[in-house]
């Protein structure tokens, strides 16, 4: 039997046998995963001396968003499931700051920074819609 759960304008199904949601069906996860891939691609152009600085922080922060959504889909209680999304929003806000920092340090062109910022904000907004 499959139980529907609403999550950010997406319907996730729960497999009764495993009692967990399929995170790959969640629109917010799809958008977050796309953002992770984009962050990884764009951080390749950052200076080599930032490998263990802002490059790593940007990648970890973006990955944390999608990872938290993935982990939340394994929750059995709706209350637990919903509570995790405040953590996701916090990770989004952290990523937004790091994108702003990269822009202010002139590590990325303003247009790229603005595009990445818009994507991060979109994911954060999807969490609560």
**51-64 average pLDDT score:** 96
89, 109 in Cβ contact below 8 A?
no
Q: What is the pTM of this model?
A: 0.79
User: Between these two residues, 14 and 66, which has the higher pLDDT value?
Assistant: 66
Give the span between the Cα atoms of 63 and 33, in whole angstroms: 8
In a domain, 49, yes or no: yes
In a domain, 75, yes or no: yes
pLDDT score of 85 more than 80:
no
Polymer length of the chain: 129
Give the span between the Cα atoms of 57 and 4, in whole angstroms: 35
pLDDT of res. 14: 45
In a domain, 62, yes or no: yes
Reported confidence tier of residue 19, pLDDT bands at 50, 70, 90? low
What does DSSP assign to residue 49? Answer: G
pLDDT score of 63 more than 80:
yes
pLDDT score of 81 more than 70:
no
26, 10 in Cβ contact below 8 A?
yes
In a domain, 19, yes or no: no
Query: What is the domain range of residue 50?
Result: 27-128
**Strand extents, DSSP E, the chain:** 2-7, 10-15, 20-21
Number of domains in the chain: 1
């Amino acid at each position: 039997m499959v139980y529907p759960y609403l999550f950010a304008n997406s319907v996730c199904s729960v497999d009764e046998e495993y009692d967990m949601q399929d995170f790959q069906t969640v629109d917010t996860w799809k958008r977050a995963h796309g953002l992770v891939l984009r962050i990884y691609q764009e951080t390749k152009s950052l200076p080599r001396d930032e490998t263990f600085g802002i490059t790593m922080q940007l990648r970890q922060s973006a990955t944390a968003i999608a990872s938290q959504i993935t982990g939340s889909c394994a929750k059995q209680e709706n209350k637990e499931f919903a509570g995790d999304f405040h953590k996701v929003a916090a990770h989004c806000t952290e990523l937004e700051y790091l994108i702003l920092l990269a822009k202010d340090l002139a590590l990325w062109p303003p247009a790229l920074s603005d595009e990445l910022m818009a994507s991060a904000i979109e994911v954060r907004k999807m969490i609560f819609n």
